Amino acid sequence: MTLGFEVVTPSRQDCDLLDPAQMRAMLDRVRPTHILHCAWQVTHGRFWTAPENLDWVAATLLLARHAAALGVARFVGVGTCAEYDWSDGGPGRRAETDATRPDTPYGRAKLATATLLGDLFAPAGVSFAWARLFHLFGPGEHPARFVPSIAIPLAEGRPATVRHGGLVRDMIAAVEAGAALAAMVGSDIEGPVNIGSGEGASLAALAGAIAAGRPGLAVENLPALGQPARMVADIGRLAALGVRPRGALRVLGSTQ
Chain contacts with its own copies (rule: CB under 8 A): 20, 49, 51, 53-55, 57-59, 61-62, 64-65, 68, 105, 108-109, 112, 115-116, 119-120, 123-124
Half-sphere exposure of residue 59: CA atoms within 13 angstroms, side-chain side: 19
How near is the Cβ of 57 to its own copies at its closest, in Å?
6
23, 46, 52, 98, 103 from 84: Cα distances, Å: 30, 20, 21, 7, 9
- With the CA atoms of 212, 225, 41 and 44 taken in that order, what torsion angle do they form, in degrees rounded to the nearest 10? -40
When the beta carbons of 107 and 208 are compared against its own copies, the nearer one is 107
When the beta carbons of 54 and 222 are compared against its own copies, the nearer one is 54
Question: What stretch of H or E contains 251?
Answer: helix 248-255
The partner residues of 79 in beta bridges, in order of sequence, read 132
Helix (H, G, I), strand (E, B) or coil at 91: coil
When the beta carbons of 41 and 256 are compared against its own copies, the nearer one is 41
CA pair distance 234, 193, nearest whole angstrom: 9
When the beta carbons of 63 and 171 are compared against its own copies, the nearer one is 63
When the beta carbons of 68 and 217 are compared against its own copies, the nearer one is 68
How near is the Cβ of 120 to its own copies at its closest, in Å?
5
How near is the Cβ of 66 to its own copies at its closest, in Å?
10
When the beta carbons of 53 and 194 are compared against its own copies, the nearer one is 53
How near is the Cβ of 162 to its own copies at its closest, in Å?
30
For the chain, strand residue ranges (E) read 34-37, 74-80, 93-94, 127-133, 135-137, 160-162, 168-169, 171-173, 191-195, 201-202, 217-219, 230-233
For 64-153, strand residue ranges (E) read 74-80, 93-94, 127-133, 135-137
How near is the Cβ of 60 to its own copies at its closest, in Å?
9
How near is the Cβ of 19 to its own copies at its closest, in Å?
8
The partner residues of 223 in beta bridges, in order of sequence, read none
When the beta carbons of 58 and 70 are compared against its own copies, the nearer one is 58
CA pair distance 74, 181, nearest whole angstrom: 13
How near is the Cβ of 43 to its own copies at its closest, in Å?
16
